[in-house]
Amino acid sequence: MTPRIGILALQGDFAEHLQAFSALDCQPVPVKRPEEVLSCQGLVIPGGESTTIGKLCQRFGVDEAIMQLHQRGAPIWGTCAGMILLAKEIEGNDQWRLGLMDIAVRRNAFGRQVDSFATDLAIAGIADGPVRAVFIRAPYVTRVWGEAETLATFEDNIVMVRQDKLLATAFHPELTDDRRIQQYFLNMVCSII
């Protein structure tokens, strides 16, 4: 069975995620409504503005659909703003979040001078050398606990975490031509269907 990968299409760079997954053996679909979310075997929450995506999630009832999808055991991957929404703690901020991962994040953590940058990251579980990582007004993870496992760091800051069926990247794998992280997520999805 070809898995349906839902790309949350409320705000942010969902088009780039759709494009990135189109090269792989899956069916990427933009999802906006609760029933569309629930029709998928995996979900990607893209980069964008986490407060806006959060508000739209609540407005359209997508928040509950994502929680249900998670309870069913479907993998969920958040990039950048998506990572913020997966975190249990957001430093100094009470904005709405899904709060599924045992991580604390700091928004816009790299500061003004390095608003956006790219670097090569060694990632645990990804073979064949480092991955080019693009950061855009990115958060990083200040703390992990419980089941959350650090997969990559940049200058001692945690930028990729996995917690069982949940994956979070502070950077944007959809903005390069390397598809290894999409394939890693797809393998998580295929292992449960």
Residues near ligand GLN (CB under 6 A) are 47-50, 80-81, 84, 107-108, 136-137
The torsion angles phi and psi of 79, rounded to 5 degrees, stand at -110, 130
| Least distance (Å) between residue 93 CB and ligand GLN | 9
Q: 68 or 108, CB closer to ligand GLN?
A: 108
Read off φ and ψ for residue 3, nearest 5 degrees.
-70, 145
For the chain, the farthest-separated pair of C-alpha atoms sits apart, in whole angstroms, at 46
CB of 100 to ligand GLN, least distance (A): 17
Nearest approach, Cβ of residue 13 and ligand GLN (Å): 8
**Contact predicate 141/157, CB 8 Å:** yes
Q: Which of 99, 151, 145 is nearest to 124 (CA)?
A: 151
Distance between CA atoms of 44 and 37, rounded to whole angstroms?
Answer: 10
Nearer Cβ to ligand GLN, position 106 or 162? 106
What angle do the packed helices 14-22 and 180-190 form, to 10 degrees? 80
Specify the residue, 38 or 53, whose C-beta has the smaller distance to ligand GLN.
53
Report the nearest approach of ligand GLN to the CB of residue 39 (Å). Answer: 25
Nearer to ligand GLN, 79 or 163 (CB): 79
Catalytic annotation present for 40: no
Catalytic-labelled residue, pool 26, 57, 80, 89: 80
- Check if 91 is active-site: no
Q: Please confirm, yes or no, whether 80 is among the known catalytic residues.
A: yes
Which of 53, 10, 12, 3 lies closest to 174 in space, CA to CA? 12
Residues with catalytic function: 80, 172, 174
